[in-house]
Amino acid sequence: NDGYKLWLQYNYIKNETLRNTYKLQIKNLNPLGDSETIKVALNELQLGLNGMLGEAYATNSITTKEYNLIFGSKTHLAQDISIQLANEFNQINDEGFIIKSIFLKGKKQIVITAKTDIGVLYGVYHFLKLLQTNTSIEKLTIVESPKIKVRTLNHWDNLDRTVERGYSGASIWDWHRLPDYIDQRYIDYARANASIGINGTVLNNVNANALILTPPYLEKVKALSEVFRPYGIKVYLTARFSAPIEIGGLKTADPYDADVIKWWQDKAAEIYNLIPDFGGLLVKANSEGQPGPQNYDRNHVDGANMLASALESFGGIVMWRAFVYSEHDTTDRAKQAYSEFVPYDGQFKDNVLVQVKNGAIDFQPREPFHPMFGAMPKTPLMMEFQITQEYLGFSTHSIFLPKLYEETLKTDTYRKGKGSIVAKDIDGSLNDKTLTGMAGVSNIGSDINWTGNVMLQANWYGFGRLAWNPYLSSEDIADEWLRMTFSNEENFVKPIKQIMLASREAVVNYMTPFGLHHIMDTGHHYGPGPWVSNLSRPEWNPVYYHKADKQGIGFNRTATGSHATEQYAPEVANMFNNIETCPEKDLLWFHHVPWDYKLKDGNTLWDGMALKYQEGVNQVETMVKTWNTMKPYVDAQRFREIQTLLNIQYKEATWWRDACLLYFQQFSEKPLPKGVEKPTKTLEYFQSLKFPFAPGN
């Protein structure tokens, strides 16, 4: 098993009693309607049931027999069925679904239905999941709707097929062979995404190349959109703000210039002529050298609204990123997005989503939630999580990210009193926002197992599940993913779930405990580099973030420091400002703390830090040991690959521990406490390491 099939393994159910029960309960497939989407749903059911039950299912019109599996949208339902589902239909939205056991003329049947065919397809995947996770289908009443409207993957894929921050091979988009050659991967990609409710994909990098908007590329994009359409997946592209100059022959890209406005309007018309359901544009502007409205003394609203106007009449949206920071602001990078965006609350057009990273710096192993969440009641904010592990060890480290996503989503912003959690801003319920979204920076590449490490398929999966429902628990996500991907054996699921759930805290411990951040090595961000101080912009250097000196360590963002805490609601600001109430997990994010500061457990900060680094290493050791006992439950290939990767992770966790402790020890001038292993190499050795082969150089 090479892992290509992801969580759609559809393994034969070995438990005979269970298998036979399912066979009794599913006798015949009754598709209603003949759209492409219904055909896809039927294919998937046949594939899944055939695999799991060893039965080739035929289709039939509804017979007088029991246990038909009837699936189709509301308009195709016979009246004696739809009447029984009236209540459920009132509860779902256009992408929601109903799965219900009903009686029809005294015979028991299962119905999967929805207001749209896409809803039906989501229901079919959910139904298959019930079998994959060995759940009873005896008495079903399942009513589900996605809580978030725009659920996208962001591919940071370049047109030359390199992937920015990609650690699993090349881009899966084969621009050379498109539009005529449709790789099977595109179809399997669509299946996987539809199975978890992802309904959009941004095909190219936010550091955009304007060529994607030229006719030859748009033909290729159209071909992909046709593959994805039956699966409910819209394509989106990134827009380079200077495209009117680069490919349009104009002299300016000023959003107030009449020719520029017209150029974008014509471009939108051209795109929609090819792709009538094109999703819209994602824009990184005035950030890290990308052009934007500020080049013309305009602001983010000017830029976003100009594009939004061009897309509006076609139903398209603009996702305007809030990941901005400039070299001119020297106080605190963490404050810049809030300062640049919050004053414009309420000024963006209705079809603009402002896309905000989960934290104010950049996808660190742990960050406090971004202060923009909750702070723009009149502007829809779209969550941006990173699925690829730029700052979390790349694809060799098995980190279960839904734990991180969940932490952010469940954090209380207090913006409308207690209980104003981030998830409520994202799903719109906090301020009655109608346009809502969540984006995940993809970890997908051309590797046979898609993500470079089978364990990281769980992060793609988990992102999709949380975009569907941001209130899900990461534990439930891990549970279902393990059962679908590997096995339902409790002796496997229980221990592996435990190590998955612990893995996020482990990486925080062995990389950046107590709120440390951005101490990865230069450029590529591979491995520790807390000593790096020679990059041209101060805020690119790790020393800018940890500020270690003889007195202590940490970034003072309180009222005596950068004042970043003031960007939070008073309750939250007060909590962070006071070193006593600041959660220890965020301590060094907000405070510069003396080395002998007493932590809650009685240890000094230095001892506590050293012990955390050691704990991280110990946690990975437990992961390795636990996995090593799983051979009976996992096929040879996946067992060996994951084992090898965990061994690498262990080696790198010790590297992180040793390098960071030796470096910080120069400032603390204190010995390592009992229980912390002695470093195997010198600081000079760690500092001399170079990685010309690290992706992202």
Q: Does 165 bind ligand BDP (CB under 6 A)?
A: yes
- Shortest distance, CB of residue 206 to ligand BDP, whole angstroms? 5
To the query of whether residue 183 is one of the catalytic residues in this protein, the response is: no
Is position 288 annotated as part of the catalytic site?
yes
Instruction: For residue 615, state whether it binds ligand BDP (rule: CB under 6 A).
Output: no
Select the residue interacting with ligand BDP from 97, 278, 323, 576 (CB under 6 A): 323
Which residue, 628 or 697, is less far from ligand BDP as judged by CB? 697
For residue 318, give the nearest of 278, 289, 263 by alpha carbon.
278
Choose, from 55, 259, 288, 489, the residue flagged as catalytic: 288
Query: Are the CB atoms for 190 and 239 separated by under 8 Å?
Result: no
Which uninterrupted H or E stretch holds 129? helix 117-132
**Which has the closest alpha carbon to 37: 101, 135, 119?**
119
Which residue is closest to ligand BDP by CB? 362
Q: Looking at beta carbons only, is 363 or 664 nearer to ligand BDP?
A: 363
Nearer to ligand BDP, 302 or 390 (CB): 390
What is the number of alpha carbons within 13 Å of residue 364 lying toward its C-beta?
A: 28
Residues in region 178-207 near ligand BDP by CB under 6 A: 206-207
Q: How far is the CB of 321 from ligand BDP (least distance, A)?
A: 7
Task: Assess contact for 373 and 385: CB atoms under 8 A.
Answer: no
- Distance of alpha carbon 112 from alpha carbon 61, whole angstroms: 15
Whether 16 is a known active-site residue: answer no
Least distance to ligand BDP from the beta carbon of 57, Å? Answer: 45
Q: Looking at 390, 447, 480, 586, which residue is catalytic? A: 390
Question: 215 vs 289, which CB is nearer to ligand BDP?
Answer: 289
Q: Which of residues 84-103 bind ligand BDP (CB under 6 A)?
A: none
Question: Helix, strand, or coil here: 70?
Answer: strand
Binding test (CB under 6 A) with ligand BDP, winner from 44, 157, 302, 362: 362
Contact with ligand BDP (CB under 6 A): which of 284, 366, 433, 638?
284
Find the catalytic residue in 312, 332, 362, 425.
362
Tokens 């991280």 identify what position?
Answer: 616
Among 363, 486, 568, 606, binds ligand BDP (CB under 6 A): 363
How far, in Å, CA of 642 to CA of 62, rounded? 46
Report the DSSP pairing between strands 97-104 and 28-31. unpaired
Do the beta carbons of residue 168 and residue 448 sit within 8 Å?
Answer: no
β-pairing, 107-114 vs 97-104, is antiparallel
Least separation, in Å, of the C-beta of 337 and ligand BDP?
12
Q: Quick check: 419 and 477 in contact, CB under 8 A?
A: no
Q: Which of 506, 509, 517 shows the shortest CA–CA distance to 547?
A: 517
Name which of 503, 460, 451 is nearest 653 in CA terms: 503
Contacting residues for 528 by C-beta, under 8 A, at least 6 apart: 511, 519, 520, 521, 655, 656, 659, 660, 663, 686
Beta bridge partners of 236: 202, 280
Closer to ligand BDP by CB, 320 or 486: give it: 320
Q: For residue 265, count other CB atoms closer than 10 A to its CB.
A: 17
Kindly state the number of chain residues that form the binding site for ligand BDP, as judged by CB under 6 A.
10
* Axis crossing angle, helix 184-195 with helix 36-53, rounded to the nearest 10: 80
* Omega within 30 of 0 (cis) for the link into 179: yes
Q: Is the Cβ of residue 165 or residue 229 nearer to ligand BDP in the bound state?
A: 165
Q: Which is nearer to ligand BDP, 463 or 627 (CB)?
A: 463
Subset of residues 376 to 405 that bind ligand BDP, contact rule: CB under 6 A: 390
CA distance 396 to 301: 40
Establish if 425 lies at the interface with ligand BDP (CB under 6 A): no
- Distance in Å, CB of 160 to ligand BDP, minimum: 16
Active site residues per annotation: 288, 362, 390
Q: Which residues bind to ligand BDP, rule: CB under 6 A?
A: 164-165, 206-207, 284, 288, 323, 362-363, 390
